[in-house]
Structure 1
Amino acid sequence: MSKGKGIFVSCSDANHFCDKNQYKEASFWEKVKLNVHLIYCRACRKYSSNNGKLTKLVKDPKVISINEYEKNAMKERLKQKMSEQ
């Protein structure tokens, strides 16, 4: 990662700032540099968008699991079908 003082950063730096921003670890200037970079870089905008979607899925997966009774019933049906073969 370059330590230049300019406001323009490489895609690698922008992705690093995006990751830090996702976890609320980016400094004010890193956020500014990231947002300037996102203005002109389509690939990094896509990376940032996908990063946000992934974070949202991880925080709220909306996964529905079966209860213990249904799980045991399914195991029994599988055992029964396996023994029939």
Structure 2
Amino acid sequence: MKITCQEAAIISNKKEYKEASFKEKLMLRFHLIGCVLCTGFVKKNSQLTRLFRQARLQYLTDEEKDKMRKNLFSH
């Protein structure tokens, strides 16, 4: 039932994307009771995920990327 800090980080990432099972969430919670470093990581990981969701990022289309490549290589 005990997990390492590396396993806790993996479960934390899975939890952010709603891919962690109930058992994994429970194991993470027990690990966080005794690990200050992982508690900080989980908080920062959650904050980072929240910021990315709020960012409303925009991406270039394939056509826009091709146009940029052509412009870069033509000069």
TM above 0.5, yes or no, is yes
**Please, what is the CA RMSD of the aligned residues?**
1.5
What percent identity do the matched residue pairs reach? 37
Pick the structure with greater CA Rg: 1
Query: Following superposition, which runs of at least 4 residues in structure 1 exceed 6 angstroms of deviation?
Result: none
- Secondary structure, aligned partner of 1:45: helix
The answer for unaligned runs of 5 or more in structure 1 is 1-6, 64-85
d(CA) in 1 for partners of 2:41, 2:33: 13
1:28 offset after TM fit, Å?
A: 0.8
- Secondary structure, aligned partner of 2:3: coil
* Structure 1 length-normalised TM: 0.63
Aligned length: 57
The answer for unaligned runs of 5 or more in structure 2 is 58-75
1:27 corresponds in structure 2 to 21
1:8 offset after TM fit, Å?
A: 1.1
Superposed CA offset, 1:35-65 (max 9, x none): 00011100000000000110111001279xx
2:35 is aligned with 1:51: no
